[in-house]
Structure 1
Amino acid sequence: MSRPETLSIIGLGAFGQLIARHLRPHLALSVCDPQVRSNDLPQADPVQAARADIVVLAVPLPQLEGVLRVIAPHLRPGALVIDVCSVKMEPARLMLDLLPAYVEIVASHPLFGPASAAHGLAGHRIAWCPLRGRGHRRLAVFLKAQGLEVIPTTPDQHDREMAVVQGLTHLIARALSRLGPLPQRMATRSFAMLAEAAAMVQDDSPELLATILRANPHAAGVRSRFLAEAAGIAAEV
């Protein structure tokens, strides 16, 4: 029998923990995070983590370049490296520039979080940007078997769509939160749904918010157009 594929997760924040919980039954899994320890999963240092068959980078975007520089000399030929950042153009550029030519690369963005996927992955979606190699095909098949919808895209197209999908969601959510407690007693169904959507992103980390609103090169333009339209509507009424 061939040995099970090894997978390491570098970064054990909320999303890294979510990945570990769902993938540990299927792969020989280890985790690497100097700040967060797992009591029941094998711990690895960055060099050990880099030697896995699949290396998942679950670190905030500002930390990604440093992690890539550390692991690059230790990656095995044919290893698959995949990131899970909320933007894709910058991680894709960094991975292509800093990782050796003998590793395969996927830029991905799981379109769910620890709260929405608390009860499983089935029915959720993941944006999938293959950058180098063919190993992404087998991994995509595996993810589909877990119930995920795998959406092929490019880093640029991803960031263009996420500038609206995430950029405006977080902008509206932050604006609503600054209005103070939202009314509930006479809330309509549409308002309740808006408040629920805003609440889903209220606990996102400042690092994630900065990535979504600043690191996406298309976000500022979308934000400006939205605010201009809102101002125009307000002027009309």
Structure 2
Amino acid sequence: MLTLSCLQPSKTRAAIPHELHPISYCFRRPSLSLSVYSTRNQSNWRRSLCIRAIDAAQPYDYETQIYERFEQSIKLRIAIVGFGNFGQFLAKTLVQQGHTVLVHSRSNYSDIATKLGVSFYSDPNDLCEEHPEVILLCTSILSTESVLKSLPLQRLKRSTLFVDVLSVKEMPRNLFLQILPPEFDILCTHPMFGPESGKNGWGGLPFVYDKVRIGNEESRVHRCNNFLNIFAQEGCRLVEMSCAEHDRHAAGTQFITHFIGRTLGKIDLDFTPINTKGYETLLNLRDNTCGDSFELFYGLFIYNKNALEQLERLDMAFESVKKQLFGRLHDILRKQMFENDEDLEAPQSNNGAVDESPQSQ
């Protein structure tokens, strides 16, 4: 008979011939099941009969308790610092996935926190004394440094994981490394979407991350992976990328997008009865970018060293297109001018002779 010491056999057996002795081992979850069979006197049998006996799952049996402890281990205790629009946007999904969410903000969002099912702390000391596993910074780019320095780090566990979701990455990375003690873990991330673009789900949307400093302990590695799994569960496309590489790409994909959108906002574009698809795309771009704060737009410019280069390239491209347009216009005007000069030449008589008749004089 075969035995497995790590699993307990099922207690209920099916009625079978004594020559065949099945032993069923099964976890109570449908996706985890295993059956082991042994036979006696196989010479008396031309074929083996495989029977799996599964006993009724008990709510508190050994395997269920193991599974529940495993299931509980992947839930995180997350503190969101900065509970504005984006912090609230992320909190909804965190709560839906079963994570414990604590929030802190300079503004009083206690009513909104209650509706979302999260705990609001007006004092950062009280928040840190709850010992969250993850500190998730959802502040504005410009206020990140002051907020980070205001947190009572001494009240946190020394292995706490710090995560940011800013639209620039080298700046928070450098701040984390300068301000946080070396015992803290650091994960820099950027969900490439927001409350508007992600309102219908996060499936297929990119999520960029950089494991700046993660401890070697298994628990810390798992905690980092569990946090990333929040976005993987929602269908995001996870992209591991250094903070420097992110900023190089984002200067084009994000800063230029915001710059064009805000430029369109300076002219009176309006809905017309003959809108084209391209024109409606421009209107949507204007509305999406102008809906964000100017503080965000300024942060994309001032804290991404690649933004100025992109702005200069855009300016050169704008001038190049203007020169192309006016150059073509110059050629057309020049051609028309010379044609008019030919028409203004002196009239000639037949065979090209000048008419000197008295009538002409």
- Measured against the shorter chain, the TM-score band is over 0.9
Match of 2:156 in 1: 75
In the alignment, structure 1 residue 137 sits paired with structure 2 residue 244: no
Q: Is the 8 A contact 1:75 1:103 kept in 2?
A: no
Aligned ranges 1:18-97 → 2 under 5 Å? 18-25=89-96, 26-39=98-111, 40=114, 41-44=118-121, 45-50=123-128, 51-71=131-151, 72-97=153-178
Q: Is the 8 A contact 2:261 2:286 kept in 1?
A: yes
Q: Name stretches of at least 5 consecutive residues in structure 2 with no aligned partner.
A: 1-68, 215-220, 326-361
* Distance in 1 (alpha carbons) for counterparts of 2:310 and 2:263: 16
Match of 2:180 in 1: 99
> After alignment, is 58-67 or 222-231 more displaced?
58-67
Match of 2:251 in 1: 163
Match of 1:118 in 2: 199
Match of 1:10 in 2: 81
Q: Name stretches of at least 5 consecutive residues in structure 1 with no aligned partner.
A: none
For residues 139-190 of structure 1, give each alpha carbon's deviation from its aligned partner in whole angstroms, at most 9, with x where no partner exists. 2233211211111111111111111111111111111111113353223222
Q: How many pairs are equivalent?
A: 237
Note the aligned Cα RMSD (angstroms): 1.7
* Distance in 2 (alpha carbons) for counterparts of 1:54 and 1:192: 41
Secondary structure of 1:35's aligned partner:
coil
What is the percentage of aligned positions where both structures have the same residue? Answer: 24
Larger radius of gyration: 2
Q: Is the 8 A contact 2:269 2:283 kept in 1?
A: no
2:119 maps to a residue whose letter is P
1:49 maps to a residue whose letter is L
Match of 2:353 in 1: none
* Distance in 1 (alpha carbons) for counterparts of 2:199 and 2:267: 29
The TM-score, its normalising length taken from structure 2, stands at 0.62
Q: Is the 8 A contact 1:49 1:55 kept in 2?
A: no
1:200 maps to a residue whose letter is N
* Distance in 2 (alpha carbons) for counterparts of 1:114 and 1:236: 40
1:54 maps to a residue whose letter is V
For residues 19-47 of structure 1, give each alpha carbon's deviation from its aligned partner in whole angstroms, at most 9, with x where no partner exists. 11110132111110121313212112312
> After alignment, is 17-26 or 72-81 more displaced?
72-81
* Distance in 2 (alpha carbons) for counterparts of 1:49 and 1:217: 34
Residue 234 (structure 1) shift = 0.9
Residue 84 (structure 1) shift = 0.9
Secondary structure of 1:62's aligned partner:
coil
For residues 187-207 of structure 1, give each alpha carbon's deviation from its aligned partner in whole angstroms, at most 9, with x where no partner exists. 322222222222211110121
1:57 maps to a residue whose letter is L
Cα distance change on mapping 1:20 and 1:141 into 2, 3 Å: closer
> Which among 300, 303, 316 is matched to residue 215 of structure 1?
303
Q: Is the 8 A contact 1:15 1:113 kept in 2?
A: yes
Residue 126 (structure 1) shift = 1.3
Q: Is the 8 A contact 1:169 1:198 kept in 2?
A: no
Match of 2:35 in 1: none
Say which structure, 1 or 2, has more relative contact order (CA 8 Å, 6+ apart): 1
